[in-house]
Chain A
Amino acid sequence: MAAAPSTDRVPDDELLEQVAAGDGPAFTELFRRRQPGVFRFAVHMTGSPATADDVVQDVFLAVMRDAGRYEAGRATVTAWLCGIARNCVRQRLERDRRLTPVDFGDGPEPEPAAEGPADPLAGLLRAERIETLRRAVRALPVAYREAVVLCDLQEMPYDDAAEAIGCPVGTVRSRLHRARVMLAERMAASRRSPAESVASAAGIVPAADHG
């Protein structure tokens, strides 16, 4: 949900004022501007695109109702929306605990090769790494997952993330630090492929290590 720098468009907070005054086109503009970030936050947190769409609906219904309550000096609109989205996600996670740490099966398929047709294997490996990382992120405890999703995946500044989560900046930094340690451990554990495990168990040394 990184705020895209722009100089020629109405700032988010002014847009929100217009929404509060009942301006339909302003509501549409705000939705188009911020829906992708809210959706990505929710899909990274829940692993379910369908649930993420529901969260988007909840967030913008809240915008309809509470646009007038936004305090411009306290947080950016992005952080405010993320805070609402976070509450919606947490409510859904509470309501449906099966969403918490597991893969739901309705997440996106691994990405196709991005390196182009010249190196399909590299593309497949890259997609596999991304999928492994995606699973590792979803397996993080919620508080740590929030820190990774907001700070790393959404590239949100620490203070905005702290505002969205409702905790001090130092807490965000420490959670992010710990979350990345957990991710690195999970990624390292997943790096050993079944073939490597069999070879290792059988005492077979890779060719590169000979001589």
Chain B
Amino acid sequence: MTCREFDADIVDLARAAAIGADAAERLRQHLEQCAGCTARLARERQLTAALKAMAAAEPPSARAAAIEAELRAAFDAQRAAVTRQPPAQRAGLGPQGRAWLAAAAVLVLAVAAWQAAARWPSSGETAAGIEPDPLRSARSPEARPEPAADGQVLRFVVLPTAVGLPALESGRIVRVELPTAELPAYGFDVTPQPASGAVEADVLVGQDGQPRAIRFVTVEADSRRPQ
């Protein structure tokens, strides 16, 4: 075996990767005769050890639990939307069909979620178009707080305006603060109309920047009082 041939396997040797018995024997014989390759192998093994130390030193995500809660809520919301469809229609449901089904489920879910979060009566739903601008004022993802853990609503509900949007391929959950006066623009008809106040919500934003689902988190004390 030449040094060049040895070089082809040196990384596997340093990483203790699986090597055939015959090849291992040839490598061992070369090492006995070649001080240069022996030194190189020692350096490669040092690099492997350093990389392992680096991997072990990487701290885990500080947001893992929060992300798990957010994703699980979104998963449950998606499942709820699907299971609300009659079985005969559910069979063979594609992504687009699911989106429409989710939109149909929103009327029920949105009212329940909103009433639980805001404790306001609701007289119905509208499906006005969503302007994405309010989402642009969302706090940076790095600054987003942990999800509410005080018994308030944690379920995502699909926004009416998600109907007809492309299937969700990727997205992020963004914490936003919405003036209550803008809620009708998101399809939530609040009666009586509040004069001021705001609600905090987590918005599931799709790959196209369009909001797909919302989860109300807190409601300012003033805004809970009917005007």
Contacts and interface: CB of A to CB of B under 8 A. Distances in A.
Interface of A: 22, 24, 27-28, 31-32, 35-36, 39-40, 43-44, 49-50, 52-54, 56-58, 60-62, 64-65, 88, 91, 106, 108, 111, 114, 126-127, 129-130, 133-134, 137, 148, 151-155, 158, 173, 176-177, 180, 183-184, 187
Given A27-B75, A64-B74, A129-B50, 9 more contacts: A24-B76, A31-B68, A44-B55, A50-B141, A57-B70, A64-B78, A106-B142, A133-B50, A183-B47
A39 B53 contact: no
Interface of B: 11-12, 15, 17, 43-44, 47-48, 50-55, 57-64, 67-68, 70-72, 74-76, 78-79, 82-83, 95, 141-142, 167-173
A36 B169 CA distance: 22
Contact of A64 (B44, B59, B75): B75
A39 B50 contact: no
B170 A58 contact: yes
26 contacts: A24-B72, A27-B75, A36-B61, A36-B64, A39-B64, A49-B62, A50-B142, A53-B61, A57-B71, A57-B171, A57-B173, A60-B67, A61-B168, A62-B169, A64-B71, A65-B95, A65-B169, A106-B142, A129-B50, A130-B54, A130-B57, A137-B54, A151-B15, A153-B54, A153-B55, A155-B55
Contacts of B74: 61, 64
Given A108-B58, A130-B53, A184-B43, A28 B68 contact: yes
Given A31-B71, A53-B61, A154 B171 contact: no
